[in-house]
Structure 1
Amino acid sequence: MNETDKTKKVATPQQQASAVEMQAAGRGELSQEELDELVASSDTGARTPPGLVGKLILTVALCWSLFQLWIASPLPFMLDFAIISATDARAVHLAFALFLAFMAYPAERSPFQLGLGIGVPLILSGLFIYGAPGDMPAWWIGLIAAGLIAAILLGSPKNRVPLWEWLLALIAAAAALYVFYYSDELGRRVGAPLRQDLVVAVIGLMLLLEATRRSLGPALMIVATVFLVYTFLGPYMPSIIAHRGNSLTEVANHQWITTEGVFGIALGVSTSFVFLFVLFGALLDKAGAGNYFIQVAFSLMGHMRGGPAKAAVVSSAMTGLISGSSIANVVTTGTFTIPLMKKVGFSSEKAGAVEVASSVNGQIMPPVMGAAAFLMVEYVGIPYFDVVKHAFLPATISYIALVYIVHLEAMKAGMEGLPRSYTPPPILRRLLTGAFIIAGICALSLAVYYGMGWIRPAFGANSPYVVFALLTAAYVALLWVASREEPLQIDDPDAPVAALPLPGPTVRSGLHYILPVVVLVWALMVDRLSPGLSAFWATAYMIFILVTQRPLMVWLRGADRSGNTSTGRALRSGADDLVDGLISGARNMIGIGIATATAGIIVGAVSQTGVGSALADVVEVLSGGNLLAILALTAVLSLILGMGLPTTANYIVVSALLAPVIVTLGQQNGLIVPLIAVHLFVFYFGIMADVTPPVGLASFAAAAVSGGDPIRTGVVAFFYSLRTAALPFLFIFNTDLLLIDVGWVQGIFVFVTATIAMLLFAAATQGWFLVRNRIWESAALLLIAFTIFRPGFFWSYAYPPFEERPGSEFVQALEDSDPGEGLRLRISGLNDIGTPVEFAALLPVPAGETGEDRLAAAGIELIQDGDRTVIDNVAFDSPAQEAGLDWDQTILAVQAPVATPSSYWIYVPAFLLLGLLVWAQRRRAGPAETSQSGKDARHA
């Protein structure tokens, strides 16, 4: 196994705990052998037995990748062969994941895990017997549970697969394939399952939860079990969350037979999109791109203050672009970056915390976002391009702020960068060179964009072949450039660093790795293909590069990166890389496939029981209706629900439970938030659970690499991540940060000002700006940052943006407003369950000559009942219906926008205060104090 393979492994929670115990016993940083064992992956499975069984596991993983490539490609439709529907594909996808989960993951036998493995089947069997139809014997449910418990008690060796685990794997796969083989019959008897349907559903649910325990640890299994208990025992719950309860027939039908539960949207997204992106990342890493990204980051940033830490942030950002796991990011880049950070002066805890903060941030960075981007497309109902556009700015600002935090830490400790092996040119020459490079990239981008636009009409159906030929020409040219440089080697992080690699040769040695990413971005952003088809074409081109780069290097350089000088051997090595990449991509997907299926149980329980409305009531009672308290409680609940869950399952759970809470309670308290902002809010806080103690799986993984204390690492990482925690609150109230209804010029302005504000926020929370902050300076920095982020907050007190009028003046307010403006309406009515509520609605003003014309264009009919203005009817698919209006609601008040001076004028006093603060700190920034501050920080 090469070093790249080793670093792709990820520690399970149990392995992380054992590592912490070893560190607590005084062993400190783990050896390479211990680290290799520690990170036996929760992504790929820790068991590959020798002999035929091990080869079978690898073969099944290879077949899974080939199946996913087949259903994603246009070939089934071109050949009219083996066309598989989306629902059937989900069943096959889950069958592969379940089979490999039982074959590749030995069951943990700690007392807690063993108790959980026995207890959950007992609880589920009791629930299923309680809810079973009266004419059905209960013994068969007990028999299923007894068989599963017996298999767990018999043990799960790590070096072989015993007979009982073969049975579990085959039965679990068969339960999933049942939906595939009987899809037509199941479709004809929806809501009236047969006895065999119930048997299969019971077996499937029990084995899915056991597979979850093996591959993902206890957290998701416990959460899903709690929701199943709630589904059956609704009448016995506290009154605020009670419901009528559901029978086994209803649960089995909802969770396993239909697409509302296990086989729902989440598993569909995993099948259609996520697998291909994970496979694309695995192939890119197998080709050598992972090491290339790290080396480029170090060559460009290693010479700066705290350079290795800044390079760790940048390399983690590049890895996070294609990765679906924050813990995988930590281990992939951390085994190289953490030791180098320690060499330049970072403590073990701070080095691990920087890696954790940057790796977790990779999950909020488009285009993949830990697979959440594709789920948002389905849940929010907007195009993928819009999801990327809305998520890009906050993620970029967060990464810039993290680089600045690293810089501040380096300043505190008086650190220097790593030595360079060359003398940099003068600053003016570097600026000119940078300007020419940027101009060249822009010119090339325009040429490619308009060139592609010309190719399509000119060549028609043959244009894909022309585009492929042009890409291949660019690939060969870039490979020729790379052949002029020495091949990149995977450095030993424990070896002394004599000098940094040269930036130019390092960048030129792997430019061809950018081409598949270009194909992906082009297909997604320009051609606007579906994410699945875009990932397929990018993966197909990545396969072409993986197979051909070694023989082409032999032809161009005389040897490939492994030293092969024979074209035949290089071609075989390329084919081996391809097979290894396909297997690695499939094994990386086992946990994600299981996670999306298990999260589907939670989503199904939410839709079946209506717990979302009950949870909104709980949050409202606890918050007392205060808007900030509502958001804070939702953030805390997202953190709790996200503990121990992988990114994909994490987002599914928190969005299903908590996104409706913010929307509902926000409307009732006068805050109208776009749905994408709400989903990003809960997503940000869900992934923060990977950082925060006591769970903080990413912090445990980083501590195992650094030899530091995991709890302290998590605490430091949390403070580094405060900027990420602040952003969701800010874009809830200022949606300009998400580029919603923002043009290019304003978007650039928002980016610049928001970046300045986030840097000031980081300086305030780190207690250091130009020198160590005094208390009033940190408070002033926070005030300035908040003012820049939300210029309208203070401005609205001097110039209210809305004029409030009674509901009886609604028609007149429509006439007085300009078309396209939004009227805010305060509405009284009933919610979905018949409870009286008040809420806010935003109605765009339609075109029309008079107020009555605009009222009709909005789709509203009114009646006047004394002093009450009542909505008598709302037209179907009208602007009023989209705004949430309905018949028999009362319009209490209308808030019409009024002309006010630009809120950006508040920037003038804010920047004057910033100038005063800079002047005060520069007066103190003498050499003596700066030196003493560095000594103090090092002593601390």
Structure 2
Amino acid sequence: MANIKKGSEEAVASGAEVLEKFEKESRTRNFDAKSLVKIVYVLCFLFTVYHLAYASGVRFMQMVNIKHHAIHVGLVLVLGFAMYPAFKKSSRTRIAWYDWACIALSACMPVYVFARYNVFISTGFQPSVLDIVVGSILILLVLECSRRISGPALSILSLIFIIYGIFGRYFPGVFMHRGYTWERVVQCLTIGTEGIYGSTVKVSATYIVLFIIFGEVMNKCGMGKFFNDIANSLAGSTKGGPAKVAVLASGFLGSINGSAVANVVTTGTFTIPLMKKTGYSKEFAGAVEATASVGGQLLPPIMGAAAFVMAETLGVQYPVIIKAAVIPALIYYLGIIIQVQLRASRDNLVGIPKDQLPKAGQVMREQGHLLIPIVFLLYMLIFSGKTVIVSAFWTIAVTIVVAQLRPISRMSLKDICDAFVAGAKSTISVAIACACVGIIVGVCGLTGFALNVASTIISIGQSSIFLTLIFTMITCMILGMGLPSIPAYLITATIAAPALIQLGVPDIAAHMFCFYFAMFANLTPPVALASFAAAGLSGGSPMKTGVVSVKLALAGFIVPYMFVYNQQLMLDNVTLFTGIQVVITACVGVFLIAVAAEGFLFTKVNWIFRVAAFVAALLMIDSGIVTDAVGLALFAAVLAYQYLKSKRHSTPAAV
């Protein structure tokens, strides 16, 4: 038992090192002074309490959006400058004088908004000289804090957009605009609700923070262990069982926590060694964990809070997003599971002996009560008529109560406080990224840049939906590199989605298409953070792991095209019969993609039949009767040939 505990501790320590290496947001200070530790702890706790109080609907906590957003951004900036050093060589045990200056300025920002709000209203948000000075400082603070936490990419991109807003008259072609003064740009970005205090911070200050807190509370009461245990009990003993366990556990957990890299580290520290022990290669083991972790953000009901952000952005109800997302997400995971099964069959990999695995009944008896908060959340969101914010607040409260029902999940007061603090710390990176994205969104609104990009993408695609989808996919993957999932979606939804919508793609399909490929930027080299983190745990080559991850997620790269061409896959205006037909053809298509990728079905598949399988899968994208018939015919041919071939190889030669 001591050895198991020691091994578990070593795995967790290794995971923490990998997380810090590949997720810049984890490189926080470790203060020497106990007073600083306590101050940051208290600030994080108060950050969470404030947002919970605001979400509860208590009358005295209600305020206009810009004030709430200003408090949210101010607290995030204060904590960001306190926790994150300016440079790699900066001290990680104390706060430098310039950090204290940034903290003081950050704390003044919400105070200034409160003090000037009535003046803003009375003057129609016309800025004074002081407003421009304070607004300029706010922009610099957001850019610098984002650089420290998320790296330079997003800050540089935001700075480029600011330059574009000022010097637009010097840009060529469709990107040229009349240009705006620095004062007008600052007014747009810092006064009112169009820029930093706009829609991107709204989703951070309302939805994202609450669901991150919910995820941390669930994690503290043992939800990660529950997902791992139930996945082991269901799939651990099957052929290639540890890989299937990784897929199931990472998918469940990823839907809640919303961070692909953190999800890789949380589940991968245990699943990757088991996969390697079973016989999977280092790269394949890492790739399975990476693809499953990224896919968690595509999986309802929570989708890492993306479901609620998308609902807010599109102005639709939450159930609409869930209905649209569920089949594509399940098909994505089906593709991974099939490839795992085919690889295990090809290499004769066995599962874990049943006597070494937990029993499903016992797991449900001891930990099954942890499903109650998720069921309660779905009830609140779909049937109660309550807002997402109120539903999230009461779900967090129910989670804390339900956790006390069994000793295995029971939390002390300190555990609850620690979960609140962890929630605040996890929110900082996403919130500051949303504030920085607000700069991009604000400039796009001021200059019409998004419409210009849409026109350019359409013109390059020559008004062809397929070519426009290709260019949109590339744009989304570039913009999504190295960003948290929600900010990546917000940027791509602002810049790339309008191109698809202009060509007649339904809004929800266009936004979901952009979201999928913004997520897949975590898998695809050269900036494949989830794949590289998984390689850090498996000991495999980061680039090879990224390549294998793309191969494993191949179905996921095709699924967005399937639901753009066939909205019935998103259960939009579909009958039961048609829905079943669409799902069956999609599943057959995913199966064929897996066969083409792995080169195995009963026995080794030669390159001719691999190409045939892939062509048949592509034919399933369009739901037409002719294409489905041809695709199914090719599927039958590949299946029959491979089956007969395997029988011939297994038949002993006559004497």
Scaled to the shorter chain, the TM-score interval is over 0.9
Larger RCO (CA under 8 A, 6+ residues apart): 2
Provide the secondary structure at the position in 1 that maps to 2:95. Answer: coil
Aligned to 1:592: 430
Report the equivalent of 1:101.
80
Matched, 1:393 2:231: no
Question: How many Å apart are 1:788 and its aligned residue?
Answer: 3.5
- The residue that corresponds to 2:71 in the other structure is 92
Residues 809-865 of structure 1 show CA distances to partners (whole Å, capped at 9, x for unaligned) of xxxxxxxxxxxxxxxxxxxxxxxxxxxxxxxxxxxxxxxxxxxxxxxxxxxxxxxxx
Among 462, 466, 475, the alignment partner of 1:637 is 475
- For the pair 1:39 / 2:22, whether they are aligned, the reply is no
Deviates more, 1:756-765 or 1:381-390: 756-765
SS of the residue 2:595 aligns to: helix
- Cα offset, 1:623, TM superposition: 2.9
Partner of 1:70: 53
Report the alpha carbon displacement of residue 273 of structure 1 after superposing the two structures with TM. Answer: 1.2
> Would you say 1:615 and 2:447 are equivalent positions?
no
User: Structure 2 length as normaliser, TM-score?
Assistant: 0.94
Distance 1:44 1:279, change over 3 A: farther
Within 5 A, what are the aligned runs for 1:286-297?
A: 286-297=220-231
Corresponding residue of 2:444? 606
Q: Pick the structure with greater CA Rg.
A: 1
- How far off its partner does 1:910 sit? 4.2
Are 1:190 and 1:258, in contact at CA under 8 Å, matched by a contact in 2?
Answer: no
The amino acid of 1:684's aligned partner reads Y
One-letter code of the match for 2:39?
L
Cα separation, 1, equivalents of 2:128 and 2:263: 46
**Aligned AA (2:315):** G
Indicate yes or no: 2:130 matched with 1:208: no
Query: Would you say 1:536 and 2:518 are equivalent positions?
Result: no
Q: Is the aligned partner of 1:657 residue 2:490?
A: no
Deviation string 1:869-914 (CA, Å, 9 cap, x unpaired) is: xxxxxxxxxxxxxxxxxxxxxxxxxxxxxxxxxx3x7655543443
Match of 1:366 among 272, 275, 300: 300
CA gap of 1:652–1:930, structure 2 versus 1, over 3 A, is: farther
Shift of 1:614: 2.1
Q: How do residues 850-869 of structure 1 correspond to structure 2 at under 5 angstroms?
A: none
* Deviation for aligned residue 1:191: 4.7
Aligned to 1:125: none
Alpha-carbon distance change, 31 to 523 in structure 1, aligned in 2, over 3 angstroms: closer
Provide closer, same or farther for how the CA distance between residues 658 and 319 of structure 1 changes in structure 2, counting only shifts above 3 A: same
Tell me what 2:42 maps to: 59
Give matches, 1:69-468, under 5 Å.
Answer: 69-74=52-57, 76-77=58-59, 81-109=60-88, 156-421=90-355
691, 704, 727: which one aligns with 2:536 = 704
Deviation string for 1:580-609 (max 9, x for gaps)?
111111111001110111111111111111
Preserved contact between residue 283 and residue 540 of structure 2 (Cα < 8 Å)? yes
Counterpart of 2:371, as a letter, is I
Paired with 2:24 and 2:140, the residues of 1 have a C-alpha distance of 20
Out of 303-312 and 915-924, give the one that drifted further.
915-924
Q: Which has the higher helix share?
A: 2
Segments of structure 1 that go 5 or more residues without pairing to the other structure are 1-5, 10-29, 110-154, 422-498, 554-559, 563-569, 667-671, 793-902, 932-940
Contact kept in structure 2, 1:293 and 1:319, CA below 8 Å: yes
Structure 1 residue aligned with 2:3: none
Cα distance in 1 for residues equivalent to 2:610 and 2:622: 18
Write the deviation string for residues 287-333 of structure 1: whole angstroms up to 9, x where unpaired.
01111111110121111111100010000111022112111111111
Residue-by-residue CA offset, 1:168-220 (whole Å, 9 max, x unaligned): 12212322442234222222233520111111111100011111011111221
| Shift, 1:85, TM fit | 2.3
Displacement of 1:523 in angstroms is 0.5
**Hey, which of these two has a bigger chunk of strand by percent?**
1
- Paired residue type of 1:46: T
1:777-816 mapped onto 2 (5 Å cutoff): 777-792=609-624
- In terms of mean alpha carbon deviation, does 501-510 or 595-604 score higher? 501-510
Structure 1 CA distance for aligned equivalents of residues 232 and 516 of structure 2: 28
SS at match of 1:529: coil
Q: Is the 8 A contact 1:45 1:587 kept in 2?
A: no
Q: 1:32 to 1:754 in 2, by over 3 A?
A: closer
Aligned-residue offset at 1:643: 0.9
- Whether the 8 Å contact between 2:561 and 2:621 is mirrored in structure 1 is no
Residue number in structure 2 paired with 1:916: 637
> Are the equivalent residues in 2 in contact too, given 1:730–1:790 (CA < 8 A)?
yes
RMSD of aligned residue pairs (Cα, Å): 2.3
In 2 relative to 1, CA 315–775 (structure 1 residues): closer, same or farther, beyond 3 Å? same
- Structure 1 residues 790, 38: CA separation in 2 closer, same or farther (over 3 Å shift)? closer
Give 1:693 shift. 0.7
Which whole-Å CA distance do the structure 2 matches of 1:413 and 1:54 have between them?
51
Letter in 2 for 1:105: Y
TM-score after normalising by structure 1: 0.66
Alignment deviations for residues 683-722 of structure 1 (CA, whole Å, 9 cap, x no partner): 1111111111111111121111111111111111011111
- Could you tell me which of 544, 554, 560 is aligned with 1:722? 554
Q: Distance in 1 between matches of 2:115 and 2:30?
A: 30
Contact map agreement 1:655 1:683 (CA 8 A) in 2: yes
Question: Conserved in 2, the CA contact under 8 Å of 1:175 and 1:203?
Answer: no
C-alpha spacing 1:786/1:283, structure 2 compared with 1 (3 Å): same
**Counterpart Cα distance in 2 of 1:690 and 1:171:** 34
1:719-798 equivalences under 5 Å are 719-792=551-624
Task: Write the letter of the residue equivalent to 1:192.
Answer: Q
- Match of 2:238, SS state, is coil
Q: Distance in 1 between matches of 2:235 and 2:577?
A: 30
Change (3 A) 1:662 1:913: closer
1:690 corresponds to 2:522: yes
SS at match of 1:322: helix
Q: Judging changes above 3 Å, is the alpha-carbon distance between structure 1 residues 906 and 106 closer, same or farther for their aligned structure 2 residues?
A: closer
